[in-house]
Amino acid sequence: MASRLFWIGWALVALVGCVDSTDTGGGADAAGADEGLEADEGPEADEGPAVDEGPAADEGPPPDEGLPPDRGGPCEPTPERCNGRDDDCDGVVDNGFEAVGTHCVAGLGVCAAPGTVACAPDGQSTVCEAAVGEAHDEQCNGLDDDCDGNTDEGLPGVGVPCGAGVGACAVAGMTLCDEAGAVVCDAQPAPPSPERCNGIDDNCDGTVDEGFDDLGTPCTTGIGACATEGITVCAEDGLDTACEAAPIAPRDELCNGIDDDCDGTVDEETGVMQRCYGGPPGTEGVGQTLPAPETCDARDEDCDSRTDESLFQACYTGPGGTQGVGICEGGMRQCQNGAYGGACLGEITPGAEICDREDDDCDGTADEMVRPVFVETAINAGLGCTDVAVGDLDGDNRPDVVCTPFLDDVNNPDTRLFYALNNGAGGLGAIRRTQPVANPTGRNQEDVVIADVNRDGRLDLITTGSQLRALVYLNQGGGSFAAPVEAFAFAAPGPGVPGTGGLAVFDYNGDGRLDIATGVGSGGQRVWRMAVSLGNGNGGFGAPIEVADPVRPIHEIIADDLDGDGDIDLLAVGEDELLFYERRPAGLQAPILLGILPDFPLELTYADLNGDGRRDLAFGGSGRLNIALRQAGVAFGPLLTVADPGGVIDAAAFNYDCDPLPELAFARINESVRFFGDAANLRDDFDDFDAFGDGIEPIDINGDGFTDLVVGTVSGITLLRRVP
């Protein structure tokens, strides 16, 4: 979250006071008053004709009145034009055209090209000076070839509903063009799960409830007179099968050779039992039968009045050679009705390998995952995205995406934030837009944070920009937002419009309400101050509390307890300075310079990159990626750098390869997204993707536990969805 404006040095304009040309009496006296401006231009005045010879002073202007203002003549105000001059004599050049010299993008699709805002020839407006590319006929390649703001439009078979996967893995999608020019379905099957007994193909192999082979077979529930026949169905927990038949209710025991009370014993009740013997005459009492170990045969061998109790048999239904390897282990089957049957309870069989430091497929190796594949989906917004944020904007517990826009048309700028809601099928829906910013000329929103500032359970939007005050968009529910309002007012410390830079939204004073920290200053000026505005919990904010010490324009702010004292401090970047603002009971202290950073970084990634429990910094620059590892206290170590010709703008930390350390994915100027290894072993051995732009954030778009990426590009948003 950092300023998107490339700060330029402002030329110092010599302010020349208007010369008093009032006639002090005419004749020689008037001429003498002017001779002082020419004293060093030649011989003394008496060596040639007197200056006052000829017509009186009122017959022609004094010499200095004929000079232009920039050579000492009087400044006569005229309406300000965009021409590199101070036309209205207020000491500011081209005021009202503050966008001059800033970054812009002209053209759409493949024609889009970065440029610089400059004065238009008529002096009444500005233009984006850029070498716009040439449009071509639309082709099936995922690009906007004809530069009309649409991708692959009008091509046969593109944009048709489709699906991928079977069973529980089935996912709906839409057809699109891949890099090879083929029409493919953008849906990716959901990951399979272990098969359960539930009428669903959980492991997505085309077969339902395999492994539960007794489904649909005849079965009996209950014993004795309670026994009822039925059909075997899935148990409620999905882990086993059960007989659907309901047993008959037991009744009082009778002397009838039947187990009437269904307890496994016949004619056992006192007063009911009679001495009897069913063997051949003459055999009663001959010989003896002693208790024996119970066996699975529906008989009571151990003479305890129970049949086949507590009899289990080891089992395992997984592939041969996998039992006891990795997470795989055997289970037990219970003796039922004189036989061992039913599910193998407690067994674990091989499953799909996932990133969990376990050998899930039981082949002897944990997390031996092939390099993950990312499916790229571009969502055209017709505008570039300078900063991107991820959060649940519509309350459906799925992550959505919001972008701050490039003001790429300086004559008709579109200042609306644009965002896309999660479609629930592993992708993002159509582009939506907020209401515009008032008085939009040059007012680019450069940082955006998602947070619930009015405590209504809905996430709101907060933005800052170097030519505007902080703005708040309150969430109205259902993915819609109220018109933006200024969070707080402050006077610009110098010429130019008030501006804000960097943004952190957090509870500064521990009252349970979110506050705003941002830099405040004037657009185009280099004297700024850190400020904190306290929230009232209802979406409003108070006058900013400014740190008196001036700093350079602030691009990025991170809120964290950096010194471990329990108070939230601030880490900020002012152009190339890394600054530490300590929070004490009296408030924020004067900034401490921690170091000078190369390349005027516009974005900071703050994450533990080497696994030591301390958060480190990663930031881009011209032709390289920079990493500063955290040391003791608030200090950072020397920079680790990796050369990259594309020029890094923003980075995101996420786990790519199942080791404990995160990798870095970073967006580059007009170059592909790239992946690097962890900080302890920096390496450039990962894939590139066609998406390029100014912002990148991790997101789990489909809730599968794998980290996907969303990239702000020159034409909108690109989703890189990871395929397990």
pLDDT tens by residue, 9-66: 322 223 233 333 333 333 333 333 333 323 334 334 344 444 444 444 444 444 444 4
Residues 141/131, Cβ–Cβ less than 8 Å: no
526 inside domain: yes
- Which two tokens mark 270? 């006192």
Span 469-491, average pLDDT = 92
- Which two tokens mark 583? 């929070």
Q: Examine the fold and report which residue of 547, 574, 596 is the final residue of a domain before the chain moves on.
A: 596
Cα distances (angstroms) measured from residue 16 to each of 13, 74, 198 = 9, 8, 87
Domain that holds residue 553: 446-596
pLDDT value at residue 686 = 47
97 inside domain: yes
What is the number of domains present in the chain?
A: 2
- In degrees and rounded to multiples of 5, residue 680 shows phi and psi of -75, -20
Cα distances (angstroms) measured from residue 592 to each of 28, 132, 177, 340, 551 = 64, 44, 52, 75, 11
Strands 569-574 and 577-581: antiparallel
Span 83-99, average pLDDT = 87
* Mean per-residue pLDDT over the chain, rounded: 80
388 inside domain: no
CB atoms within 10 A of CB 284: 11
pLDDT value at residue 658 = 67
The H-or-E segment that residue 33 falls in is helix 27-35
Q: Which amino acid is at 15?
A: L
pLDDT at 456 over 80: yes
Residues 710/716, Cβ–Cβ less than 8 Å: no
d(CA 459, CA 536): 16
Can you give the length of the chain in residues?
A: 724
Span 501-529, average pLDDT = 91
pLDDT value at residue 233 = 92
- Please measure the distance between the N-terminal and C-terminal CA atoms of the chain and give it in whole angstroms: 29
pLDDT value at residue 61 = 46
DSSP helix, strand, coil percent of the chain (3-state; round to 5): 5, 35, 60
d(CA 657, CA 661): 9
587: phi > 0 → left, psi -120 to 50 → alpha, else beta; which?
left
Q: Among 174, 687, 163, which residue's Cα sits nearest to residue 428?
A: 174
Rg (CA), the chain: 39
Residues 166/206, Cβ–Cβ less than 8 Å: yes
Burial tier of 102 (Cβ tally within 10 Å: 0-12, 13-18, 19+): buried
Higher confidence at residue 77 or residue 25?
77
Q: Which amino acid is at 20?
A: D
- Which two tokens mark 718? 């690109």
pLDDT at 391 over 50: yes
Cα 388 to chain centroid distance, Å, stands at 7
Q: How confident is the model at residue 715 (pLDDT cuts 50, 70, 90)?
A: confident
- Provide the sign of the torsion angle of the four alpha carbons 69, 74, 80, 86, taken in this order: positive
Span 252-279, average pLDDT = 73
The contacts of residue 41 (CB under 8 Å, 6+ apart) are: none
d(CA 145, CA 484): 35
Burial tier of 85 (Cβ tally within 10 Å: 0-12, 13-18, 19+): middle
DSSP state of 66: G
Q: Which residues pair with 231 in a beta bridge?
A: 218
Cα distances (angstroms) measured from residue 265 to each of 299, 345, 584 = 11, 28, 80
Of 33-47, 344-358, 450-464, 632-646, the one with minimum mean pLDDT is 33-47
pLDDT at 224 over 60: yes
631 inside domain: no
pLDDT, tens digit, 9 for 90 and up, residues 198-217: 999 999 998 999 989 888 88
d(CA 549, CA 587): 13
569 inside domain: yes
- Which two tokens mark 365? 């190796």
- Which two tokens mark 510? 């521990």
Span 651-677, average pLDDT = 70
pLDDT at 691 over 60: no
Q: Examine the fold and report which residue of 540, 569, 596 is the final residue of a domain before the chain moves on.
A: 596
674 inside domain: no
CB atoms within 10 A of CB 384: 26
pLDDT at 119 over 60: yes
**HSE on the CB side for 551, CA within 13 Å?**
29
108 inside domain: yes
pLDDT value at residue 396 = 94
Q: How confident is the model at residue 138 (pLDDT cuts 50, 70, 90)?
A: confident
d(CA 517, CA 501): 9
Q: Examine the fold and report which residue of 111, 134, 157 is the final residue of a domain before the chain moves on.
A: 134
191 inside domain: no
Higher confidence at residue 331 or residue 639?
331
pLDDT at 282 over 50: yes
Q: What percentage of residues in the chain have a pLDDT greater than 70? A: 80
Strands 515-522 and 529-533: antiparallel
